Structure 1
Amino acid sequence: MDSLTQIVLGAAVGEAVLGRKVGNKAMLYGAIAGTIPDLDVFASHFTDSVSALSIHRGFTHSIVFSVLFAPIFAWLVSQYESFKDFKGWSWLFFWAFITHPILDAHTTWGTQLFWPFDLRLAFKTIFVIDPLYTLPLLVFLILAMWQNRTSEKRFFYNKIGLILSSSYLILTFFLKWMAFTQFQSALKKQQINYLQLDTRPSPLNTILWSANVETEDAYLLANYSFFDTQPITFVTYPKNHELLGNLVENESVERMLDISEGWYTITKGEKNLYFNDLRFGLLSLAPKSESFVFQYRINIDAKGGVQFVEVEKDTRDGKKLLSELWMRLKGN
């Protein structure tokens, strides 16, 4: 999830664990702890794109990290804070650490919660920014903040925020199931034979859903809103996996294919091949758009080495997409 959401969640968890004993400091340290797992993004400054993608939401988003580093941070804090309860600080950091990847596991990218096992948990039920999850948590956290640390109202407000946001998170599973059955039914009606069907919510909401459908030689992309009145339309994108040729034996390429979980197409430019990660969709809802959210230019150096360079996105495309999504959300 986005940084603000993780800060708010960490603060709410910190308050739930130690709020009655240390007051707003519990929120402060919970907020800090809630951001620490995402420090793995700095790996992109020290390594190549493929390695950075592999590292992101890896070790720092695992149970192992939470167990190992919670007592370390607890010891550091207990050295200078007047509240010396090492166990209490350990619980605060552990729960703030572990709830971060658990929430991230509901997004499309997912997390390696069970690192070092090669298993990425991705429920794909919520977009990385969703106001319906964050706002109730934030509003009730602010209300709690202004109460005395021993006040029952403080405990009540924070509890309500956590219950509302968690209930919405549970609701997203039901919404995903509803959307999935609609896509499944449409494929059956249109007599489309397919190998896999994958669904995810569109940005900022859980009303409009997207689907990736794998067939033998192509992927079909589609959108469905709960307000739709017309049949679902599937748009075909050829896989073109054969364009990689012998590159499939390259280590960097193999890792990229693994990261994408097989959901990718290859397109050919004037001088380079392009790797398109389908898991995150398109930057436009226009028919047959080739503007993928995550597109990488494949560069090959003189020694045969392969580098993946992310194609820069125009901020105007993002604004246009939000406008298109709003219109599409209201139904076809």
Structure 2
Amino acid sequence: MASIFGHALTAYALGKGFSKEMITWKFWLLGIICSILPDADVIGFKFGIAYEDFWGHRGFSHSLVFALLLGILVTLIFYNKKILSRAGLALIIYFTICTASHGILDAMTSGGLGIAFFSPFDNTRYFFPWRPIQVSPIGAGKFFSIWGIKVLLSELIWIGIPVGIYILAMHFLKRKKFF
């Protein structure tokens, strides 16, 4: 998996495409939580759920269906007055993409069993052919090590630079009134 830092940075960048009226602390926080939440499935290890199971790590919680359901649920709970508007649809899309970005980044890592993108319809695990991101260790103790430093350096290159370019592009496009 990519680290929580890489996932959170991606959600932050995705939010930069929205208008200032929509962007609040709640918006940022919920987007970041959506981008990190799929990894809550690691708790299954404590309950004997195998990695490759439906509820296992990188299983259903990393799927596109889960991303859509979470996007809808977050918008319903936190933006229920906007749910039937264009802003509500935009929020559903944002929270869905933040959640889906988790699996996309994880499919670009150097380890694990792959991502069940199409669960619950197909539980096959997939990786992308190009996997430049160093896989992050599971657990905070292991993260604060040489392995964790290698992960952060990898993410700086493969997530940080593209995200930085995207943020600059959004800033430029907004200044030029393209959005």
TM-score, L = length of structure 1: 0.38
Change (3 A) 1:27 1:12: farther
Report SS of the residue matched to 2:157: helix
Query: Residue type of the partner of 1:115?
Result: S
Say yes or no: does 1:122 pair with 2:127. yes
- Encode CA deviations 1:156-184: one digit per residue, 9 max, x unaligned: 3699xxxxxxxxxxxxxxxxxxxxxxxxx
User: Unmatched 5+ residue regions in structure 1?
Assistant: 145-152, 160-332
Which stretches of structure 1, 4 residues or longer, exceed 6 Å deviation after superposition? Answer: none
Q: CA deviation at 1:46?
A: 1.8
CA distance in 1, matches of 2:47, 2:173: 39
CA distance in 2, matches of 1:15, 1:4: 17
Equivalence for 1:113: 117
Equivalence for 2:171: 156
Equivalence for 1:43: 44
CA distance in 2, matches of 1:158, 1:73: 28
Report SS of the residue matched to 1:22: coil
Q: Please say if residues 14 and 31 of structure 1, whose CA atoms lie closer than 8 Å, have aligned partners that are also in contact.
A: no
Q: CA deviation at 1:23?
A: 2.6
Equivalence for 2:20: 20
Change (3 A) 1:104 1:95: same
Report SS of the residue matched to 2:21: helix
Say yes or no: does 1:60 pair with 2:85. no
Instruction: Please tell me the root mean square deviation across aligned C-alpha atoms, in Å.
Output: 3.0
> Larger helix proportion, structure 1 or 2?
2
Report SS of the residue matched to 1:29: helix
> Larger strand proportion, structure 1 or 2?
1
Q: CA deviation at 1:79?
A: 4.2
- Encode CA deviations 1:102-139: one digit per residue, 9 max, x unaligned: 12112232211111313111135222231202332565
Equivalence for 1:132: 157
Query: Residue type of the partner of 1:74?
Result: T
Equivalence for 1:100: 102
**In structure 2, which of residues 82, 85, 88 is the aligned counterpart of residue 86 of structure 1?**
88
Query: How many corresponding residue pairs?
Result: 144
User: Unmatched 5+ residue regions in structure 2?
Assistant: 136-150, 175-179
CA distance in 1, matches of 2:60, 2:163: 28
CA distance in 2, matches of 1:87, 1:98: 16
TM-score, L = length of structure 2: 0.67
Query: Residue type of the partner of 2:118?
Result: F
Q: Please say if residues 15 and 23 of structure 2, whose CA atoms lie closer than 8 Å, have aligned partners that are also in contact.
A: no
Change (3 A) 1:98 1:72: same
Query: Residue type of the partner of 1:132?
Result: I
Within a 5 Å distance, the mapping from 1:120-199 to structure 2 comes to 120-123=125-128, 125-126=131-132, 127-128=134-135, 129=151, 130=154, 131-136=156-161, 155-156=170-171
Report SS of the residue matched to 2:16: helix
Q: CA deviation at 1:37?
A: 1.0
Query: Residue type of the partner of 2:21?
Result: K
Report SS of the residue matched to 1:135: helix
Query: Residue type of the partner of 1:136?
Result: I
Q: Please say if residues 12 and 27 of structure 1, whose CA atoms lie closer than 8 Å, have aligned partners that are also in contact.
A: no
CA distance in 2, matches of 1:120, 1:158: 37
CA distance in 2, matches of 1:9, 1:74: 19
Identity %: 23
Change (3 A) 1:158 1:11: farther
Q: Please say if residues 12 and 30 of structure 1, whose CA atoms lie closer than 8 Å, have aligned partners that are also in contact.
A: no
